[in-house]
Structure formats: C-alpha cells, structure tokens
C-alpha cells in the first residue's frame, strides 16, 4: 500500500520515515531523495497520466497527496506574468488529471485517503489554487464518501503524520 504524490512534497519523505511506502512523479530536472521511488512524468497531462498508471503498476496505491506549488506569486493581477499564471494552472490541471487517473487504483480495500495540501494564500495565484482545491474537496465530498474515500484538506506545511 503506497502513497501517490503526483508532485514531490517534503511530506513524502516524512511518510517514508514513518515506515510507509511512497511513490512520486518525477519531472525533468527534479531529484528525489534516494529512499523514495519515482516514475518519470514527461510532458504535462499525458505525462502525468502515464506516470500514474506506472506508479499503480509498481505499487499498490492506497492514498494520494495532491499539492500544487504556485510559482513566484505576485499580489496584484496586473503584476502577474502570463508565464507564471499559465504554469500554475497547467500544474493544477495536471494534478487534477493525476487524481482522475489514480482514483480507480485507490478504491477497493482499506480506507483510502486523498489529502489536498492547500498553499498559503500569499498572492493571487496561491489564493486561486487554494480556492480551487478547497472547492474540489467540497464538491467531491459526497461522491468520495460514496466511494469510501476520505478527502482531507491540510495546510501545505502541516505535518501529515
């Protein structure tokens, strides 16, 4: 039973140190701690889809942590670069696709959990991502409950253990 991290977050190492199995998606230029296995996620949506399937084939996925790290976060809408805005919401879209793909693998035995790590609202982008993840938790709650999946929202720097 393994935790699936479509985006690397420090809590992956924390969970691993607690004796639980973890598997993370890895993107070009990223390094994982040596103890944590990873699968390459190349090229956005298609890449995270195939990485999720490979992770499920390599490990029995039981839980998932979704964290979307906002880029440099300007406070004013007019100060945001188009690139930062686009990268943030492409990452959010990628994370949601990872969830859609992982969901069938998470269901079944046990009590699977989806942990949504909310970024601190430090500007417009982080606030928008926080709002999107909070809305996902709220609107997905009834469906998740029917599937036997717990949905938990936590601050991004709050320990999972």
Of residues 1, 94, 86, the one with CA closest to residue 41? 94
CATH fold for domain 2-155: Rossmann fold (3.40.50)
Q: 112 in helix, strand or coil?
A: coil
Mean pLDDT per 10-residue interval, the chain, length 161 residues: 93 92 91 89 87 93 93 74 88 94 90 95 90 96 94 91 63
72-110: b or e for each residue (b if 16 or more CB lie within 10 Å)?
Answer: ebbeeeeebeeebbebbbebbebbbbbbebbbebbeeee
**Residue 74: per-residue pLDDT:** 65
């Amino acid at each position: 039973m393994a935790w699936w991290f479509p985006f690397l977050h420090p809590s992956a190492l924390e969970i691993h140190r607690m004796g639980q199995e973890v598997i993370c998606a890895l993107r070009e230029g990223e390094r994982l701690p040596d103890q944590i296995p990873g699968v390459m996620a190349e090229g956005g949506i298609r890449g995270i889809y195939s990485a999720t399937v490979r992770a499920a084939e390599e490990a029995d996925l039981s839980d998932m942590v979704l964290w979307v790290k906002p880029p440099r976060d300007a406070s004013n809408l007019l100060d945001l670069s188009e690139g930062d805005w686009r990268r943030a919401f492409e990452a959010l879209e990628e994370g949601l696709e990872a969830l859609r793909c992982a969901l069938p693998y998470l269901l079944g035995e046990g009590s699977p959990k989806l942990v949504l790590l909310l970024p601190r609202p430090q500007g417009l982008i982080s606030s928008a991502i926080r709002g999107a993840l909070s809305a996902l938790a709220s609107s997905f709650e009834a469906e998740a409950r029917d599937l036997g999946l717990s949905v938990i929202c936590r601050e991004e720097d709050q320990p999972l253990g």
